[in-house]
Amino acid sequence: MIDTSDIEKSLEKLEALIGVTFLDRIHLLTAVTHRSYLNEHKEAKQGHNERYEFLGDAVLELVITDFLFNKYPEKPEGELTAIRAALVNTVSLSEVASKLDLSEFLLLSKGEEKDTGRARQYILANTFESIIGSIYIDRGYEIAKEFIGRNLFDKTEPIVAKRLWQDAKSRFQELAQEHTSITPSYETLNQTGPDHDRVFTVGVFLGGEKIAEGRGRSKQEAEQSAAEAGLTAKGW
């Protein structure tokens, strides 16, 4: 979290981490300010980052769309859409935000500071988008594009090579047919808990061979988990 006693030094450090020097740092400060922080700090001069996030999301989509369109001229629209979604989903963006140590610079309420897991992932992903928006406002499209390229373009090839743009069941089925000419089947092996809190255990099979198991709150979730485990078990 930014040291509010020396905001300029903190913002200068953040500029170095993201590789962008701002003409007006108020844009960068706004980009790392969560709405909850302003609820507790009425004296703050900056706004919160939601409008910047809205803008950054649009810039991000355009940059990634343009990049994928030119990188993969043979791929159809549906596949490009799925690859783009895998590149810019919450998990992917929060990973990039973590590598940039954005958590160190977030301005949050005391309550939000304690959140971890999915809630923190969501905040980090949104902050990454708001920083894109702030760069676009302060330095323009080309600098924003360079920032996005440095942080996301390299993630594309592993996503395509490992078919991570597909859900696990689709990937497992394609690879199973490619390697064994067998279509996977799924079988519910167990279910526990009351109706409102049921946990399913599902096995994925190739022919009569059980490859892996997965668990989930629904059969569909358990099947996806089993397929993911099957990919690992097969080394696919």
Determine the pLDDT at residue 4. Answer: 55
Instruction: Confirm whether 57 is a catalytic residue.
Output: yes
Instruction: Confirm whether 3 is a catalytic residue.
Output: no
Determine the pLDDT at residue 43. Answer: 81
Architecture field, domain 4-159? Orthogonal Bundle (1.10)
The span from the CA of 133 to the CA of 51, in Å, is 8
Q: In CATH, what class is 168-234?
A: alpha beta
Tokens of 186: 């799924």
Residue in 129, 213, 223, 228 annotated catalytic: 129
Can you give the pLDDT of all 236 residues of the chain as single tens digits?
A: 555 568 889 999 999 999 999 999 999 999 999 999 888 887 888 989 999 999 999 999 999 999 999 999 999 999 899 899 989 999 899 999 999 999 999 998 877 676 666 778 899 999 999 999 999 999 999 999 999 999 999 999 999 987 788 788 988 998 999 999 999 999 999 999 988 889 999 999 999 999 999 999 899 989 989 998 999 999 98
Domain spans of the chain? Answer: 4-159, 168-234
Determine how many CB atoms are found less than 10 A away from the CB of residue 140: 10
In the sheet that holds 199-206, the strands lie side by side as 185-192, 199-206, 209-216
Residue in 57, 112, 213, 223 annotated catalytic: 57
Tokens of 189: 């092996």
The span from the CA of 162 to the CA of 148, in Å, is 22
Q: What is the 3-state secondary structure (H, E, C) of 139-164?
A: HCHHHHHHHHHHHHHHHHHHHHHCCC
Global pTM reads 0.73
For the chain, count helices (H), then strands (E).
12, 3
The span from the CA of 3 to the CA of 110, in Å, is 14
